[in-house]
């Protein structure tokens, strides 16, 4: 049996910027990198349900999630194949409440985000959400 990870990523937009999160140095995968809100899809959970849960768990923000996925890409997590489904959301209210998964956050424009993250498909998705550029 092949092991496979399915995950979601939430691009939260506020006033022309995207919420960036720096992973905790205690994380087992990619400690210290800048990313967006993300996490695995739980058994029996739809991707849309997962993205709502991850936003609440990792930020506590009130947002409006656009229900249609933006894009998806294949990756790997510690050598295990992973599919990441991207959604975007508009911030409605609240201030970021950090969970144990992240140690810092920032609201970044597309260039700032691209300079901080090593994840090229994520940087492209952020640019698309903020400028309407191609994916």
Q: Model-level pTM?
A: 0.91
The pair phi, psi for residue 21, each rounded to 5°, is -125, 135
**Contact residues for 49 (Cβ-Cβ < 8 A; gap 6+):** none
> Which has the closest alpha carbon to 107: 9, 16, 31, 29?
16
pLDDT tens-digit readout, 48-62: 999 999 999 999 999
For 5-131, give the CATH class.
Answer: alpha beta
Three-class SS of residue 126? helix
Distance CA 99, CA 1 (A): 33
Distance CA 135, CA 126 (A): 9
| Residuewise pLDDT in 10s, the chain (135 residues) | 566 789 999 999 999 999 999 999 887 777 899 999 999 999 999 999 999 999 999 999 999 999 999 999 888 877 788 899 999 999 999 999 999 999 999 999 999 999 999 999 999 999 999 998 666
Would residue 32 be called left, alpha or beta, if left means φ above 0 and alpha means ψ between -120 and 50 degrees? Answer: left
């Amino acid at each position: 049996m092949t092991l496979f990870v399915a995950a979601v990523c939430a691009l939260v937009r506020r006033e022309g910027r995207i919420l960036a999160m720096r992973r905790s140095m205690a994380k087992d995968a990619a400690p210290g990198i800048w990313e967006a809100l993300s996490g695995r899809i739980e058994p029996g959970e739809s991707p849309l349900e997962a993205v709502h849960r991850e936003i609440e768990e990792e930020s506590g923000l009130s947002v409006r999630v656009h229900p249609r996925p933006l894009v998806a890409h294949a990756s790997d997590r510690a050598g295990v194949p992973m599919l990441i489904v991207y959604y975007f959301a508009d911030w409605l209210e609240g201030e970021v409440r950090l969970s144990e998964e992240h140690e810092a956050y920032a609201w970044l424009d597309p260039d700032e985000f691209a300079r901080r993250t090593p994840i090229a498909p994520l940087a492209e998705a952020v640019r698309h959400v903020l400028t309407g550029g191609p994916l």
